[in-house]
Every structure is written in C-alpha cells, then in structure tokens.
C-alpha cells in the first residue's frame, strides 16, 4: 500500500453516546477524544509518578476510559448471572492471551534449554574463531543477532556478558566496541522478531499472521542492525571503557551461579560442546516452518499437501516441534534426565507472568477503545490529520516509549489506538506487518533512565551513566529510526 495520507474521504459518523455509564462526558467526537487524551495522560502518570505496576495501570485506565466514554458496568464487566451480556474486559484479555500466551510460553522454554545447554557459548566461540581478533566485534554482533531470536534481551545479556569481557580483555580495546554490536543484535531480535513478546502481542492485537511479522522483521531488522553496528564501530573507538577487574570476577561468579543452577536442576553437562549445526537447526526450524505455512496459500492451491504444510507451520505446532528437538538434541541425548528438563522449563516460565498480564491488559485497553467508540473517534481524527498510518503508529509508540520507558506498554497501547485505522482501510497482511514494525521501532527509541534496559547495560558492562547515554541510548535510537525508515520505504511497494 502506498505511503500516502490516509483520508481524503468524509469521516465516518460518530457512534452515538452510550447510556448507562457512570461518568458519561460530553457526547460526540470531542468528548471521546477528551477521553482518549485523558486516558493516555492518566496512564503515564500512574506509571511514571505513582510507580504503579503497568498491568494495574493499563487495567485502571481501561476501566476509567470506558466509564468516561459512556460504557455501562454491564458492558465492561458482564453480569454475575449467565446472560448474553459480553464483558469487554474478559473478551479483550482472553482474545489477546489466547493467541499470545502459548507462543511466548513455548518460546521462553526453548530459549531456556538453549541457554542452560551452553548453546550461546558455543555460538560465540565459534564465531570469534571464524572471524578472528580483528573482527571480534562483528562476531559478537552476530552472536547477539542469532542467539537473541529465542531468548529474552536480559537473559541474553546475562549469558553473553562474560564472553564480551573475555573478548575485550584479549583485544585490549574498549568494552563499548564489543558490547554495543552484541546489544544491537539482542535488541533488534527482541523488538522485531517472534517469539518475543512485543511483535507477538502486536500481531495478536492487529490479527496478523506471524509469518508476515517474521518476514517483515527480517526485512526491516537487518538493515537496522547493520546501521547500529556502524554506529557501534564508530563510537567504540571514541569512548573507552576498560574491563574492570570486578567485572571479570562477576563473570566468574555468573558462570558459577549458572553451574549451580544446572546442578540443582539435575543437569550434568557433557564435556563435548554443543554442535553449532544443532543450535542453528533448533533456532531456524520454527522460523522456516512458519514462513512456509504463511506463503503456502499464495504458492499452492488447496490440497492435502498444503494442509500438511499449514499444520506444521502453525506457530503453536512449529514452536512445539523446536522445543521437542531441543529437549532431545540438547537434553536427553546429552545426558539430561526428564526431571531436569521439566525443572529448567518450569523455572523459565516464572518471569513470563508479568509480560503476559501487561499484554492482556493491552488487549483490554484496545477492546474498551473499540467498544466505547473512542477508537472510531481517534480514527476519524487521524484520518483528517493526513499522516500515513505507519507514521502515526511510529510516532505514538515513540512518545509512549520515551515518556514511560516500557517497550511492551508502548507496543500494546499503540496497537489498540491504531487498530481501527487498519480495519477501516482494509489493509493487507503485509502492510499491517510493516505497521507492527513501525510500532516496534518506536518502542525502542532513546532508551534512557526510565528504562530498566538502560541500567542493565550500564551495570553489566561497567559504563557510566553519561557514557551509557552517549552509546546505548544513541544505539537504540539508530535502530529505531533505521527500522522505521525501512518499513516506511517498503510500504510504498506493498
């Protein structure tokens, strides 16, 4: 779809105001827009000033916006008795998590098995040997890019930071030169590619097949990470951060802690390292299967063969296959007990609860915006602004990210706001996937002191706050702008 202003058509009629609400404000578009604006302000205040947990903040704002826009208590919550009344909160939460929770859960367990088995260390050491000392920063970047697909950003830092310390110590150069390419790879995959929460949540909220999200994530993410690597190479020669002795000690402690976790889980690692081909096979299997299924409808007429491809390429099935492969190739075949696999998998799911609740609350927010008519009023207003939807999506996500720091909150909130723009325009799956890339790109812009990732980077790599702003914050901004620029350009031809 061309990158042109959305509307030159007459705006759709404004939905009539609801009756039965507790706090119904001025009816009409102006009142609904006031609801939306006050809702966003309230969300930011609750997260930034009150320090309320994002799940609670999103749920509170959803209820407040719904009541202010005129929704009745029954419309919001349903009734105690069985009836035909539909609860927007229940349908918003359930409709979103029904798709997202399974994918995030399976992806999290897959990443945990790869982490504990030593797949990351094998990947990094092989790439370092392949590229040599002079190209060690590139090897670190590729390690982050590949290993970042199945593991969360913070887990990737924890597992790979000791390798960065070793490479920087051996090379005698700035930690920044080795850490920033690695962080760029981890951040790109976390923002643009499933099974990470952001793109998966946006795909669920905007009803896009994951195959399109993967394809557009690769198309937009690779140029973005190349631009970030270029910045990292430049700034790494100008900001010198030595490898402090306590960092090396911390790395040794981290390795010891990981070994202790493995011992408690009953894992007895073999001395033989994990084959690199095995790591690539496990990471690549679900991506290939999902892509094949997505595009089988274009390449093949309905048939038994196409049905088989679509079955194995369904995200639930593809990720289950990859997880079972990891269980066998990295676990059972290397001496793990079934109990060990169960313990590692279960432990990996503990941090996921917060992410799923935030994503589900984002689904509630979107459902309330749509059911109350606020989304339609926003759609009409944005249409009259004349900006393309892909630009609006990026700017809204960027503002929310910079204001409150959470990429997940920025993504789910923005998806709820722009959803009616995409529904009305009858946009293709490919274009909608590009809008998701724009939202994801906006959600990583200018990581600063209100973002937990900023402090993680600063503390893990011994970089001062000032130098973290000069390196990591700018790196994230380069990733964001480059990723959005590619998405906008590609949208001209979709």
SS3 content of the chain, % helix, strand, coil (to 5): 75, 0, 25
Tens-place pLDDT, residues 239-295: 999 886 666 665 566 556 556 666 665 665 555 778 889 999 999 999 999 999 988
Residue ending a domain, choose from 316, 348, 380: 348
Per residue in 349-363, pLDDT (tens digit) is 887 888 899 989 988
**274 and 389 together in one domain:** no
Residue 356: C-alpha distances to residues 93, 104, 105, 450, 481 (Å): 10, 8, 9, 21, 27
d(CA 36, CA 58): 13
Asked if residue 442 belongs to a domain, the reply is yes
- Residue 235, domain member (yes or no): no
Query: For residue 139, what are the domain limits?
Result: 99-201+210-230+243-348
Residue 17 included in any domain: no
> Left, alpha or beta for 55 (phi > 0: left; psi -120 to 50: alpha)?
alpha
- Inside any domain, residue 88: yes
In a domain, 280, yes or no: yes
Lowest mean pLDDT among 41-55, 164-178, 203-217, 239-253: 239-253
Would residue 64 count as lying in a domain? yes
Q: Tell me how many helices (H) and strands (E) the chain has.
A: 23, 0
Domain limit, last residue, from 301, 320, 348: 348
Do residue 152 and residue 248 come from a single domain? yes
* Inter-residue contact 76 to 430 (CB < 8 Å): no
20 in a domain, yes or no?
no
* 237 inside domain: no
Rounded mean pLDDT of 311-326?
A: 95
Per the structure, the count of domains in the chain is 2
Same domain, 196 and 253: yes
Q: In 245-374, at which residue ranges do the beta strands (DSSP E only) sit?
A: none
Residue-wise pLDDT for 80-121, tens only, equals 555 566 788 888 898 888 878 999 999 999 998 888 888 888
Kindly state whether residues 187 and 223 are assigned to the same domain.
Answer: yes
Mean pLDDT to the nearest integer, 422-445: 90
- Indicate if 190 and 310 belong to the same structural domain: yes
pTM to 2 decimals? 0.85
Q: Are residues 277 and 185 in the same domain?
A: yes
> Of 330, 348, 366, which residue sits at a domain end?
348
Q: Do 86 and 191 lie in a common domain?
A: no
Considering the domain architecture, whether residues 161 and 74 belong to the same structural domain is answered as no
Together in a domain, 63 and 76: yes
Q: Please tell me whether residues 399 and 330 are part of one structural domain.
A: no
Does residue 248 sit in the same domain as residue 111?
yes
Length of the chain counted residue by residue: 494
Residues 156 and 248 in one domain: yes
């Amino acid at each position: 779809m061309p990158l042109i202003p959305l509307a030159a058509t007459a705006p759709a009629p404004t939905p009539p105001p609801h009756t039965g609400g507790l706090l119904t404000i001025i009816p009409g578009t102006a009142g609904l827009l006031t609801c939306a604006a006050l809702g966003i302000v309230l969300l930011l205040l609750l997260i930034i000033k009150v320090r309320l947990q994002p799940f609670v903040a999103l749920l509170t704002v959803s209820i407040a916006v719904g009541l202010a826009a005129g929704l009745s208590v029954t419309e919001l919550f349903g009734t105690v008795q069985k009836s035909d009344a539909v609860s927007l909160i229940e349908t918003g939460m359930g409709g979103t998590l029904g798709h997202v929770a399974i994918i995030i859960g399976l992806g999290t367990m897959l990443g945990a098995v790869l982490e504990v088995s030593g797949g990351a260390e094998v990947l990094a050491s092989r790439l370092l040997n392949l590229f040599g000392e002079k190209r060690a920063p590139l090897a670190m970047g590729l390690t982050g890019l590949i290993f970042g697909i199945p593991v969360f950003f913070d887990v990737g830092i924890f597992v790979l930071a000791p390798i960065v310390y070793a490479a920087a110590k051996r090379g005698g150069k700035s930690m920044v030169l080795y850490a920033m390419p690695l962080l760029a790879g981890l951040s790109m995959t976390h923002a643009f590619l499933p099974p990470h929460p952001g793109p998966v949540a946006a795909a669920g909220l905007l009803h896009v097949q994951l195959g399109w999200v993967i394809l557009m994530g690769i198309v937009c993410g690779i140029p973005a990470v190349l631009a970030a690597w270029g910045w990292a190479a430049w700034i790494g020669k100008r900001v010198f951060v030595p490898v402090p002795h306590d960092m090396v000690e911390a790395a040794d402690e981290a390795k010891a802690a990981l070994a202790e976790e493995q011992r408690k889980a009953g894992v007895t690692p073999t001395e033989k390292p994990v084959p690199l081909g095995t790591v690539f096979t496990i990471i690549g299997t679900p991506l290939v299967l999902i892509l094949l299924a997505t595009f089988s409808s274009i390449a093949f007429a309905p048939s038994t063969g196409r049905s088989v491809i679509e079955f194995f390429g369904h995200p639930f099935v593809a990720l289950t296959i990859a997880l079972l492969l990891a269980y066998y190739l990295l676990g059972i075949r290397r001496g793990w007990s079934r109990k060990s696999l169960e313990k590692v998998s279960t432990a990996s799911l503990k941090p996921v609860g917060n992410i799923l609740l935030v994503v589900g609350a984002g689904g509630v927010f979107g459902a309330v915006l749509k059911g109350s008519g606020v989304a339609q009023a926003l759609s009409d207003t944005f249409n009259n602004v004349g900006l393309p939807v892909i630009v609006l999506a990026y700017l809204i996500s960027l503002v929310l990210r910079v204001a409150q720091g959470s990429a997940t909150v920025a993504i789910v909130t923005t998806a709820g706001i722009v959803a009616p723009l995409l529904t009305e325009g009858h946009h293709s799956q490919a274009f909608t996937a590009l809008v998701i890339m724009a939202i994801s790109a906006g959600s990583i812009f200018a990581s600063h002191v209100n973002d937990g990732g900023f402090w993680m980077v600063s503390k893990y790599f011994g970089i001062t706050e000032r130098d973290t702003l000069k390196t990591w914050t700018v790196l994230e901004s380069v990733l964001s702008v480059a990723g959005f620029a590619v998405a906008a350009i590609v949208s001209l031809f979709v």
